[in-house]
Structure 1
Amino acid sequence: MSWFKRKDKKIQTPSEEKAKIPEGLWLKCNQCKEIIYRKEIEANQMVCPKCNYHFPISPEERLNQVFSNGKYNILFREIRPEDPLNFEAAKKYKDQLAKLEKAGKIDEAIVIAEGKMDKFNIVVGIMDFSFLGGSMGSVVGEKLTRAIEYCVAKKRPLIVFSCSGGARMMEGALSLMQMAKVSAALGLLDKAGVPYISVLTHPTTGGVTASFAMLGDLNIAEPGALIGFAGPRVIQQTIKAELPEGFQRSEFLLEHGMVDMVVDRKDLTDTLIKVLKLLYA
């Protein structure tokens, strides 16, 4: 019966019947606003089949896509976040960390893993936007630096999937120091002749963009990803000017030489394998 007929006749679905209907069966696309069956999107690697919008995905989903055999080892899990400045304004920071740990997010805003991609032994870093906006604090910098040193020692290529709102303000200058720290470590990786591929996903902004995210031997972006330092609204309010259409999106950056490739998620793993074969030819 149509909803308007049910309303006229004052018919309501009993609460116990509503409880039987599983939640989350449908997703609304943030771009085309279509309501789509969740399993259809999941079968398409969390990409909208209507408009190709790339939904954010968890590090676990990304790891399963990168390592086709589903086998990988998590590295540096023992490094945990703290409140290094310990000032009153950051009291809620401790509460946030405790809440995230209770929710099972013990890997901070980045997960480092090693495993096989095709025939290559690789190390992968995947940023997690659900952990304080993927913000870069001292733990993110330390994990990335250790991953880079590990790649230098083992001669293994490094792939980092960035997704971040930038530096973590709750750690002050200690957070900003990670930009120089990781960038210097990447210099050692380059000197050792070990490939570093940077994959920029939506969104990648702030200090992450201003450091390691743009330092790859190859910089690849997912379609439609917001990539920049300050966001477009902040820039527009600052310079009081209209920005070009698609400003700071992957395709705009590719057109202006800021990234090397824009690759759909379904093609990303195959593209990475081809790149590694080329680099190791």
Structure 2
Amino acid sequence: MTGWFSFEDMGASAGDLMARDVVCAWLGEAGIDYDIALAHPFEGGVAWEDVDPDAYSHVSFICGPFGEGPPLLEFLDRFSGRPMVGIDLTMLQSLDEWNPFEVLYERDSSRTARPDLAFLAPDHRVQVVARILIDHQPEYGSRDWHEDANRLIDDVLQARDAVVIPVDTRLDENKTGMRSVAQVESAIARVDASMTTRLHGMVLSIKNGVPPVVVDPVKGGGKIKRQADTIGWPIVFTHETATVEALTEALDYCLTDEARAAARACRERARATLEPMQQSLLSDLDRTAAPTE
């Protein structure tokens, strides 16, 4: 069983691996043994350059473009005595001109086209986490430890099988290409949890019912810790309490339904607290207004 995942630096995609797994499942159901040839960075399997061609009844190549050129000619030459099977391939040349396969179920060729085999693959899902980090804050002087705080978050995220979505809440210069409030909030609203060293990373997460793991990047606690205490959000860490282990445990919790319910409850408490502010502000403006001509 070979494909572009069997060759280093040849651009094997998620779809290639999904098509491969479909065929592997078919062979497994039929009781047919197989080896998978893998190259870096994929682990396990065999190297097609090292195996004995005579040990195999067939050699298959699964998914992607396939044409007469390197490195495929070397591959075909090595297994020239074995029946070749092509599955889910885009044949780059007319089959009348070149077809090295005894059996060919192409994705598209000069004779036909089929849906890509990845349509038959099982759904693959992992959780999605927003990464919302602060830059240097010179106003805090020696109390600023944002680099270490951000690094702790990155260490936690790199160890987890999750999709990490970088979100920058700053709009005058945005590192993630977002240009409006709606774009920032829409990105945050669609994730399962967030990890943040920004105050509005915490606030916008909770506003959208997304549980945040919050690290205050100011030693001793700054505005983030004060805001978390004010609204009653407990998943907040300071310089003294933030560790990879503690943040990992907190993220585990924030990815639960219980945490989402807690985030929604926190949002409603915050809104209820702020509700009288509109009328109070308008009254104060009226009371303190300077005479105008």
TM-score (norm 2): 0.28
TM-score (norm 1): 0.29
